[in-house]
């Protein structure tokens, strides 16, 4: 057993915790059923060799300064915009994430939101529970069809690809944008076309966001983009809230500039921008993209494996800053 000290900032499935307990002398988990405050984080990182962090934890230079023994920050998420990776690299601290294992569950969530908003399931549920379902009606809660429509994928990485692959069931035409290479899987299997953002916004009936949050993608979708979209379009976001200018989204939904939206993430999570919760044409989920038992279990094992590799001076399988290893 290694004389090492690991801290986990929130309770996660036991599988990964048990792996760590077998290998390391001390493994502590935040005992509260709430996120740690930044000040609590500052205290808890002292003396730790490794930490597992949540996407809701800000890991900045000051925090890493306090953690003089820290060798790895294993983020319990695929996105790592909560971590100052440059500051970690400078200090030789390895940052890892949990890619791949959550692509299917997140893509499923994007489709769940897409269906909920286009078929008005949440509005219908509210009405039914309120005793306002007085019988079938020819004009009640009419939504939109999916078959043959155009799906626009913003960010065709693993999750965007999984989202697009599911459109085969509805024979959709697929457009995509990507910051990296052409997606040959989507092109060969679906006849998908890589286009610029403006074309995607103009031509898509459903637009789904899967790009990471960075300075390049912050507010990628704002008032100008909403005015480019079809008035019948639906926007789905299971990536990061700040990729959308949420104030502009509220305006666009209110003015029926677009038909609706399905959101799993928010610009100032967990806060919502004023007006959002009052709108009928948006479905709001509390960041549940990876929230299945299977996926969260795999994420806990993945985070543990990354930590054990680094503590054994090996290359971790999911390193986002390999420069920190040299
Ligand atoms: C969730 O949002 C993640 O990045 O894993
Ligand atoms: C998604 O893009 C992932 O890396 O899982």
Task: Give the domain ranges of the chain.
Answer: 2-101+292-321, 103-284
Convert the pLDDT of each residue in 28-67 to its tens digit. 999 999 999 999 999 999 999 999 999 999 999 999 999 9
pLDDT of residue 180: 87
CA 209 – ligand 2 centroid, Å? 12
The top-level CATH class assigned to 2-101+292-321 is alpha beta
Whether 103 lines ligand 2, by a CB cut-off of 6 Å, is: yes
Backbone angles phi, psi at 210, to 5 degrees: -135, 20
pLDDT of residue 326: 81
Whether 159 lines ligand 2, by a CB cut-off of 6 Å, is: yes
Separation of alpha carbons 296 and 281, rounded Å: 30
Backbone angles phi, psi at 46, to 5 degrees: -60, 130
Tokens 């294992």, located at residue: 101
Ordered strands of the 72-75 beta sheet: 24-29, 2-8, 50-53, 72-75, 94-96
CA 136 – ligand 2 centroid, Å? 42
Question: Which of 54, 102, 267 for a ligand 1 pocket mutation test, highest count of atoms within 8 Å of Cβ?
Answer: 102
Whether 156 lines ligand 1, by a CB cut-off of 6 Å, is: no
CA 103 – ligand 2 centroid, Å? 5
Beta bridge partners, 207, equal: 152, 235
* pLDDT tens series, the chain, 326 aa: 778 999 999 999 999 999 999 999 999 999 999 999 999 999 999 999 999 999 999 999 999 999 999 999 999 999 999 999 999 999 999 999 999 999 999 999 999 999 999 999 999 999 999 999 999 999 999 999 999 999 999 999 999 999 999 999 999 999 999 998 999 999 999 999 999 999 999 999 999 999 999 999 999 999 999 999 999 999 999 999 999 999 999 999 999 999 999 999 999 999 999 999 999 999 999 999 999 999 999 999 999 999 999 999 999 999 999 999 98
Is 103-284 the same fold as 2-101+292-321?
yes
pLDDT of residue 1: 76
Token output for 252 = 């666009």
Question: Which of 52, 55, 160, 302 for a ligand 1 pocket mutation test, highest count of atoms within 8 Å of Cβ?
Answer: 55
Whether 157 lines ligand 2, by a CB cut-off of 6 Å, is: yes
Question: Which of 55, 75, 78 for a ligand 2 pocket mutation test, highest count of atoms within 8 Å of Cβ?
Answer: 78
Give the nearest ligand 1 atom to 77 CA.
5
Whether 212 lines ligand 2, by a CB cut-off of 6 Å, is: no
Q: Which ligand is nearest to the CA of 107?
A: 2
Catalytic residue numbers?
Answer: 240, 269, 287
Q: Tell me which CATH code domain 103-284 carries.
A: 3.40.50.720
Whether 190 lines ligand 1, by a CB cut-off of 6 Å, is: no
pLDDT of residue 2: 79
Whether 158 lines ligand 2, by a CB cut-off of 6 Å, is: yes
Question: Which CA distances in Å does 170 have to 71, 111, 188, 201, 242?
Answer: 47, 12, 17, 20, 30
pLDDT of residue 94: 98
Separation of alpha carbons 326 and 89, rounded Å: 10
Separation of alpha carbons 219 and 66, rounded Å: 32
**pTM of this structure:** 0.96
Which amino acid residue places its CA nearest to atom 2 of ligand 2? 158
Token output for 245 = 């200018």
Whether 207 lines ligand 2, by a CB cut-off of 6 Å, is: no
């Amino acid at each position: 057993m290694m004389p090492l000290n690991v801290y986990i900032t929130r309770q996660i499935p036991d599988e990964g915790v048990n792996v760590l307990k077998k290998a390391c002398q001390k493994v502590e988990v935040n005992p509260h059923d709430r996120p740690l405050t930044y000040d609590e984080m500052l205290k808890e990182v002292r003396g730790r060799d490794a930490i597992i962090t949540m996407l809701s934890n800000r890991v900045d230079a000051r925090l890493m300064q306090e953690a003089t023994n820290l060798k790895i920050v294993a983020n319990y998420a695929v996105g790592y915009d909560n971590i100052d990776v440059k500051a970690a690299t400078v200090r030789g601290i390895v940052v890892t994430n949990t890619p791949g294992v959550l692509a299917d569950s997140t893509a499923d969530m994007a489709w769940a939101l897409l269906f909920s908003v286009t078929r008005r399931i949440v509005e219908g549920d509210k009405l039914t529970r309120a005793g306002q379902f007085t019988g079938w009606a020819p004009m009640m809660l009419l939504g939109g069809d999916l078959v043959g429509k155009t799906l626009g994928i913003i960010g065709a990485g693993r999750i965007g690809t999984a989202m697009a692959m599911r459109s085969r069931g509805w024979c959709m035409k697929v457009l995509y944008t990507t910051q990296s290479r052409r997606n040959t899987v989507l092109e060969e299997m679906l006849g998908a076309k890589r286009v610029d953002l403006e074309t995607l916004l103009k031509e898509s009936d459903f637009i789904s966001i899967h790009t990471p949050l960075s300075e390049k993608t912050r507010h990628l979708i704002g008032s100008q983009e909403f005015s480019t979209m079809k008035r019948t379009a639906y926007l789905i976001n299971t990536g990061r809230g700040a990729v959308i200018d949420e104030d502009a989204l509220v305006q666009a939904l209110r003015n029926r500039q677009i038909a609706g939206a399905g959101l799993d993430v928010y610009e100032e999570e967990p806060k919502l921008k004023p007006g959002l919760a009052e709108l009928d044409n948006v479905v709001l989920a509390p960041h549940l993209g990876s929230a299945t038992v299977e996926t969260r279990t795999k994420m806990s094992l993945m985070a543990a494996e990354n930590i054990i590799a680094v503590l054994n001076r090996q290359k971790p399988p999911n390193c986002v800053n390999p420069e920190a290893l040299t």
